[in-house]
Amino acid sequence: MTFRRRAREPALIGLLLTVGLVLTLAAFPACASVVIAGTRVIYPAAEQEVTLRLSNVGKSPALAQVWLDEGDPKVDPSLLNLPFMLTPALARLDPGKAQTVRIVYTGEPMPPDRESLLWFNLLEVPPSPAEAVTGPNYVQLAFRTRLKFFFRPAGLAGRVEDAPDTLEWRIVTEGGKAALRVSNPSSYYVTIISARVGGSDPAARFDAGDMVAPGGAVSLPLSATPARAGNVSFTTLDDYGAPVKHEASLK
């Protein structure tokens, strides 16, 4: 069963795309019951498969559907044709139970000289409530979680742990405001969660988080113009989602 064929559950996908079930509603406090073990997925091309564990920590059974997309959260998964197979694509999880999702690369060509970024999606749909608890003000939510999915070809130049230290930094002015322009000469994606220019000027900061693609560049707007040029202190996330601190010189 390929990814293209298996993602046709109209009751779930139609509901997701029509209603937009990535919800944050202050009036209806709730939380997802199905949780994912991890904050990102790394797929080394040399591996036959990678697995992801889903656990139902709630008190009711839930239906979990999984798929990958290329970055557009609104796209209908049935229209995608990605070289990965996810099994099971749809599963029931009882309270306190877990389910392992297998992700298999089916071999169609991917860029061989750099990482590729996709997104892993989990849609959790709770069971229909008993008729006695529903009413005119009853709202039932389905929860969608998205994780970054990195496909890592074999034989890439350099090590992923060293990629943040290859970043090139400079101060630029964009829209009349100071920003850090970050270039990434490595073959790996680098996630930056914060940066600061100069140890004595904490106001010149960036805290919004961003990601630099292999061979790409981004501009990180600073909260103030640095009083003087100096080193850049910045924090990135590693393969396990843990923060790692670095320091670099401005060009």
**126 pLDDT band (50/70/90 cuts)?**
confident
- Answer whether residue 150 shows pLDDT above 80: yes
Give me the CATH code for the 160-249 domain, please.
Answer: 2.60.40.10
Give me the mean pLDDT over the 32-47 stretch. 94
Reference 231, options 211, 217, 245, 219; nearest CA is 245
Residue 198: per-residue pLDDT: 80
Residue 69: per-residue pLDDT: 97
pLDDT, tens only, 177-235: 999 999 999 999 999 999 999 865 567 999 999 999 999 999 999 999 987 777 999 99
Task: Count CB neighbours of 202 within 10 A.
Answer: 12
- Answer whether residue 11 shows pLDDT above 60: no
Residue 178: per-residue pLDDT: 94
**What percent of the chain lies above the pLDDT cut of 90?**
72
More confident call, 108 vs 202: 108
Residue 3: per-residue pLDDT: 33
Residue 13: per-residue pLDDT: 43
More confident call, 147 vs 138: 147
Residue 140: per-residue pLDDT: 64
Residue 197: per-residue pLDDT: 92
Q: Domain ranges for the chain, please list them.
A: 3-152, 160-249
Residue 156: per-residue pLDDT: 97
Residue 139: per-residue pLDDT: 64
Topology match between the domains 3-152 and 160-249? yes
On average, the pLDDT of the chain sits at 85
Give me the CATH code for the 3-152 domain, please.
Answer: 2.60.40.10
